[in-house]
C-alpha cells in the first residue's frame, strides 16, 4: 500500500496500451504504481502482437487503452487476454476515449447500435471499466461489468482560468451543460450557439444575439474531430470582434487537417490526454487516481 499525503492507494500495476503511454506515465507519477514491461508490435501483415513480460499473479492491474482508431480495439482485447492468463486479483480497464460513442442509437433502419456492441465487448473478462466523458452518459448502462464515467470539465475549467476568459460558449446544444458548469466555476457568463450539421466536415452555426467585441471568448466541446465545428464557431466570433478565442475539449481527435483548419481563428487550443497529441496539455490522471483509492 502507498500512503501519500494521507491518501491510501492499494498497490496496482499499470499496463499501458500504445494509445495511452502519456496518460499511463502521468498516472504512474501521481499514484506511484509501476508500469508493467509489455511488448506491442505489428506483424508485417499489420496484425497486432502483444506480450506481457512480467508475472502478474496476485496483482491488481490497470490497463489503459483507447478504442479509437479501430486497431486500438484489437490491442485492448489482446492485452486483456494476455493479462488474464495470470491469476490477477482484479483487472480494471481505463478507456480514456470510448470510440463509437457517437453511434449511440439506430439512426436509420439496418444500422447497428455501435456504442452498445462496443460496451458489451469491452466488458468481457474485466472487473471494472473507467471511462472519461462518454458522448452520451446513457451508454454506461450497456457495459456488462461495473462501469464509471468520469467527467473532465473540472480540469478544463482550471486550464481555461489561466486565460481569464470573459465568457464561455457551447458550440451546440450538446455542450450546454458543460459550458454552464465551467461558467459557474469561473464566474463568467455562458452562451450557446445553435449548430446544424451539413455533412461530416461542415456545419452551419447561428450565434444568436451576442456581444463579443474586444472580449476573450472560450469555447468548450467534448470532442473535436474534423475541427469543422470549432473552425466555424471561431471564425464567427472573430468576425464579431472577439479579441481572443480559446478552445478546450476533452477528446482531441484532430482528424485530417483539423489543426490547420482551426488555427486561423483559434488563438489557444488544448485538450486532455484522453487522446494523446501535441495539444494534450491537461491531464485526467488525477481524476482517475481518485477512483483507484
Ligand atoms: C457533436 O455532437 C460533438 O459535441 C462535437 O461538436 C463534434 O463531434 C465535433 O466534430 P467536428 O470537429 O468534426 O466538427
Residue 224 CB–ligand 1 contact under 6 Å: yes
**Structure confidence at residue 11 (pLDDT):** 85
Q: Are residues 143 and 179 in the same domain?
A: no
**Structure confidence at residue 7 (pLDDT):** 56
Q: Are residues 7 and 146 in the same domain?
A: yes
Ligand 1 binding pocket mutation candidate from 223, 269, 274 (most atoms within 8 A of CB): 223
Q: Are residues 143 and 287 in the same domain?
A: yes
Helical H segments across the chain, by residue range: 21-31, 71-84, 114-123, 153-161, 176-186, 228-239, 258-263, 285-290
Distance of CA 225 from the midpoint of ligand 1 (Å): 6
In angstroms, rounded to a whole number, what is the distance separating the alpha carbons of residues 37 and 54?
A: 6
Answer yes or no: is pLDDT of 3 > 80.
no
* Residue 278 domain-assigned (yes or no): no
Q: Are residues 13 and 142 in the same domain?
A: yes
Rounded mean pLDDT, 258-275: 98
Q: Are residues 35 and 121 in the same domain?
A: yes
Closest ligand 1 atom to residue 258 Cα is 12
Residue 176 CB–ligand 1 contact under 6 Å: no
Q: Are residues 58 and 20 in the same domain?
A: yes
Q: Return the CATH number at 288.
A: 3.40.50.2020
* Residue 75 domain-assigned (yes or no): yes
* Residue 48 domain-assigned (yes or no): yes
Residue 161 CB–ligand 1 contact under 6 Å: no
Q: List, for residues 7-46, the tens digit of each pLDDT value.
A: 556 689 999 999 999 999 999 999 999 999 999 999 999 9
Count CB-CB contacts under 10 A for residue 236.
Answer: 20
Non-local (6+) Cβ contacts of 5 within 8 A are none
| CA 37 to each of CA 14, 20, 81, 111, 285: distance values in angstroms, whole numbers, following the listed order | 9, 14, 16, 40, 20
- Residue 287 CB burial class (10 angstroms; 0-12, 13-18, ≥19): middle
| CA 83 to each of CA 77, 94, 146: distance values in angstroms, whole numbers, following the listed order | 10, 14, 19
* Domain count along the chain: 2
Q: Does this model's pTM top 0.85? A: yes
Q: In which band, very low, low, confident or very high, does the pLDDT at 293 lie, cut at 50, 70 and 90?
A: confident
**Structure confidence at residue 9 (pLDDT):** 61
Read off the C-alpha cell for 239.
Answer: 468576425
Count CB-CB contacts under 10 A for residue 151.
Answer: 18
Residue 221 CB–ligand 1 contact under 6 Å: yes
Distance of CA 262 from the midpoint of ligand 1 (Å): 13
Q: Are residues 37 and 81 in the same domain?
A: yes
Distance of CA 21 from the midpoint of ligand 1 (Å): 25
In angstroms, rounded to a whole number, what is the distance separating the alpha carbons of residues 88 and 95?
A: 19
Closest CA to ligand 1's atom 9? 224
Q: List, for residues 67-101, the tens digit of each pLDDT value.
A: 999 999 999 999 999 999 999 999 999 999 999 99
Residue 172 CB–ligand 1 contact under 6 Å: yes
Q: Are residues 158 and 113 in the same domain?
A: no
**Structure confidence at residue 275 (pLDDT):** 98
Q: Are residues 260 and 174 in the same domain?
A: yes
Q: List, for residues 181-236, the tens digit of each pLDDT value.
A: 999 999 999 999 999 999 989 999 999 999 999 999 999 999 999 999 999 999 99
Q: Which residues are catalytic?
A: 195
Ligand 1 binding pocket mutation candidate from 115, 170, 197, 229 (most atoms within 8 A of CB): 229
Distance of CA 217 from the midpoint of ligand 1 (Å): 19
* Residue 202 domain-assigned (yes or no): yes
CA angle 47-49-51, nearest 5°? 170
Q: Are residues 168 and 106 in the same domain?
A: no
Helix axes 71-84, 114-123, angle to 10 degrees: 20
Residue 223 CB–ligand 1 contact under 6 Å: yes
Q: List, for residues 157-192, the tens digit of each pLDDT value.
A: 999 999 999 999 999 999 999 999 999 999 999 999
Task: Report the share of the chain in percent with pLDDT over 90.
Answer: 95
* Residue 119 domain-assigned (yes or no): yes
Count CB-CB contacts under 10 A for residue 180.
Answer: 14
Distance of CA 265 from the midpoint of ligand 1 (Å): 17
* Residue 187 domain-assigned (yes or no): yes
Q: Are residues 123 and 223 in the same domain?
A: no
* Residue 208 domain-assigned (yes or no): yes
User: Residue 265's domain spans which residues?
Assistant: 153-273
Closest CA to ligand 1's atom 8? 223
Q: Are residues 35 and 18 in the same domain?
A: yes
Residue 103 CB–ligand 1 contact under 6 Å: no
Amino acid at each position: 500500500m502507498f500512503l501519500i499525503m494521507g491518501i491510501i492507494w492499494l498497490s496496482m500495476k499499470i499496463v499501458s496500451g500504445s494509445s495511452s503511454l502519456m496518460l499511463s506515465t502521468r498516472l504512474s507519477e501521481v499514484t506511484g504504481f509501476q508500469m508493467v514491461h509489455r511488448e506491442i508490435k505489428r506483424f508485417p501483415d499489420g496484425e497486432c502482437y502483444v506480450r506481457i513480460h512480467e508475472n502478474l499473479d496476485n496483482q491488481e492491474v490497470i490497463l489503459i487503452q483507447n478504442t479509437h482508431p479501430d486497431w486500438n480495439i484489437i490491442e485492448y482485447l489482446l492485452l486483456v487476454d494476455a493479462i488474464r492468463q495470470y491469476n490477477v486479483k482484479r483487472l480494471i480497464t481505463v478507456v480514456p476515449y470510448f470510440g463509437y460513442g457517437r453511434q449511440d442509437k439506430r439512426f436509420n433502419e439496418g444500422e447497428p447500435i455501435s456504442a452498445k456492441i462496443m460496451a458489451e465487448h469491452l466488458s468481457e473478462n474485466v472487473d471494472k471499466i473507467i471511462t472519461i466523458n462518454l458522448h452520451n452518459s446513457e451508454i454506461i448502462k450497456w457495459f456488462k461489468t461495473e462501469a464509471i464515467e468520469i467527467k473532465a470539465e473540472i480540469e478544463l475549467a482550471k486550464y481555461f482560468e489561466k486565460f481569464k476568459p470573459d465568457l464561455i460558449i457551447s458550440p451546440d446544444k450538446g455542450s450546454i451543460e458543460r459550458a454552464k458548469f465551467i461558467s459557474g466555476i469561473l464566474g463568467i457568463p455562458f452562451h450557446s450557439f445553435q449548430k446544424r450539421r451539413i455533412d461530416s466536415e461542415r456545419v452551419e452555426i447561428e450565434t444568436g444575439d451576442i456581444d463579443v467585441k474586444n472580449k476573450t471568448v472560450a469555447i468548450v466541446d467534448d470532442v473535436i474531430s474534423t475541427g469543422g465545428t470549432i473552425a466555424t464557431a471561431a471564425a464567427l466570433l472573430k468576425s464579431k470582434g472577439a479579441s481572443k478565442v480559446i478552445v478546450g475539449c476533452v477528446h482531441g481527435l484532430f482528424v485530417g487537417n483539423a489543426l490547420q483548419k482551426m488555427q486561423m481563428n483559434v488563438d489557444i487550443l488544448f485538450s486532455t490526454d484522453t487522446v494523446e497529441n501535441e495539444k494534450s496539455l491537461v491531464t485526467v490522471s488525477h481524476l482517475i487516481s481518485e477512483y483507484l483509492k
